[in-house]
Amino acid sequence: MTQRADDAPALARTTTDQQPHDPRPAKSPRVHRAWFVAAVTFVTIIGAAAFRSLPGLLIDPLHDEFHWSRGTIASAVSINLALYGLTAPFAAALMDRFGIRRVVAVALTVIAVGAGSTVWMTSAWQLMLCWGLLVGLGSGSMALAFAATVTNRWFTERRGLVSGILTAASASGQLIFLPLLSWIVSEHDWRPAAVTVALAALAVVPFVWLLLRDHPADSGLKPYGAKEFVPKPAPVPGAARRTIRVLLSAVRTGPFWLLAGTFAICGASTNGLIQTHFVPAAHDHHMPITAAASLLAVIGVFDVVGTIASGWLTDRYEPRRLLAVYYAFRGLSLLFLPHLLGPSVHLPMIFFIVFYGLDWVATVPPTMALCREHYGDDSAIVFGWVLASHQVGAALVAFLGGLARDTFGEYDVVWYASGALCAVAALMALVIRRRRPTPSATTGSGGVAVAGA
């Protein structure tokens, strides 16, 4: 039977639909689309980083206006930090179900609503609802699990470098917004600063919706560095069940507990301690708030350098040893901090700021690499749970730091305790064993490889 000419277009469409996974034979773009997706992700995380810059600047103004204790204010920050981590693994699974664009766009909108609503609050419970619950949920969906998902989908080479760059985006956002927000708080009160955070989150939504792509297959491309085309997987239903299933399988492995423990100490010594309490601690020593905030911004500058360098090193060296070095030097620097705080900025303090900036989130690329090594396709969700421990540690120290300030009238005990914890983290990192795949290796539910500690 002869095929009619007018049926040819339909036949061509059918053939194309039957083989959507075949890459087009056209010339490859000079710059792979993965780098553009990484750039959009970088800008998105920068825009969302404004909310990360504000909590430490709010403690003194809220204490002065509402007469809330620093412990009460720190409780709201603790809720925010805890939800930031606990939401992350569910957000990673939701991205597999609904796509990256939808999840991130909704998260940015929730952040804007939560931050903007604080301008009308009159009670501490409203601070915990708006800044703790809403901003915590929104920011958790924008956590490093977002960066891990983009890295895993779009790259098979340079993953350490890309994860370092995307992690550094948060520090870049801090660099951009922290001096501005500290000036707004000093000159115009804290409410305009909260509105600025809300507007910054909303401004990023169009970039996400128009420019971000969920998977290389959406553009007919292979992941960067891949030898073969990777079809876009079907949406994964039961995101919450999958997230819990992956957790239950991961907790049966030793590396998970070691990674979660070290990352909890990482969060305690960064977000929970320095980011939340450095500005009020410096202000206790009569340093102007704007000067202390500028020092945190300098941490952001060197954080970018340190994190990207850490990603480069992770592609080349043993991640366990890198983690041990990072935690050991971080703990040592914290032991010196109580002797460096004063009314003015001097050279030893600048040295501390530069060093701490280089080490701030340098732990992220090797931690991501170890999650990929042990947990394969579920590594983004496992990393989300590891990040949850990071934020639980941050939340605990954010609260205890405020409580210690109310109790002892100073922060010294918190600096010393955090330094000791970093030494413990360095030892824990060295205990993690390298995974050697064997034919008899078993796999837990959800595809998580069972590896010993």
Task: Report in angstroms the alpha-carbon separations of 423 from 134, 255, 265, 368.
Answer: 34, 18, 10, 21
Under 8 Å between Cβ of 352 and 333 = yes
Domains belonging to the chain, first-starting first, are 32-213+236-447 (1.20.1250.20)
Return the SS3 of 110.
Answer: helix
Q: Which two tokens stand for residue 131?
A: 């800044």
> pLDDT tens digits for the chain (453 residues)?
444 444 444 444 444 444 444 444 344 557 788 888 888 888 888 776 666 667 767 778 888 888 888 778 878 877 887 787 778 778 877 887 888 888 888 988 898 888 888 888 888 888 888 888 888 888 878 766 677 788 888 888 887 788 778 877 766 676 667 778 888 888 888 889 888 888 888 888 888 888 787 888 877 788 887 877 877 777 766 777 888 888 999 999 989 999 999 999 998 998 888 888 888 888 888 888 788 888 887 887 788 888 888 888 988 889 999 999 999 999 999 998 988 888 888 888 989 988 888 888 789 889 989 998 888 878 878 888 898 888 789 888 888 888 888 888 888 888 999 999 999 999 999 998 876 554 433 334 344 443 333
Under 8 Å between Cβ of 67 and 257 = no
Return the SS3 of 23.
Answer: coil
Which residues make beta-bridge pairs with 224?
155
Return the SS3 of 364.
Answer: helix
Under 8 Å between Cβ of 108 and 204 = yes
Name the amino acid, one letter, at 264: A
Output DSSP code: residue 99: -
Compute the distance between CA of residue 354 and CA of residue 297 in angstroms, rounded to an integer. Answer: 11
Q: Which two tokens stand for residue 71?
A: 């412990």
Encode burial over 10-29: b for 16+ CB neighbours within 10 A, e otherwise. eeeeeeeeeeeeeeeeeeee
pLDDT at res. 24:
44
Calculate the CA 242 to chain-centre distance: 21
Q: Which two tokens stand for residue 413?
A: 């005990």
Return the SS3 of 443.
Answer: strand
Output DSSP code: residue 20: T
**CA neighbor of 389 nearest in space, from 143, 150, 134, 131:** 143
Compute the distance between CA of residue 88 and CA of residue 147 in angstroms, rounded to an integer. Answer: 11
**CA neighbor of 353 nearest in space, from 279, 444, 451:** 279
Count CB neighbours of 126 within 10 A.
15
Q: Which two tokens stand for residue 405?
A: 């300030």
Q: Which two tokens stand for residue 422?
A: 């970093």
pTM summary value: 0.66
Query: What is the DSSP secondary-structure string of 168-234?
Result: HHHHHHHHHHHHHHHHHHHHH-HHHHHHHHHHHHHHHHHHHHHH--S-GGGGT-PPBT-SS--PPPP
Query: What is the DSSP secondary-structure string of 111-161?
Result: HHHHHHHGGG--SHHHHIIIIIIIHHHHHHHTSHHHHHHHHHHHBSSSHHH
Under 8 Å between Cβ of 345 and 289 = no
Compute the distance between CA of residue 159 and CA of residue 305 in angstroms, rounded to an integer. Answer: 17
How many CA atoms lie within 13 Å of 180's alpha carbon, on the beta-carbon side? 16
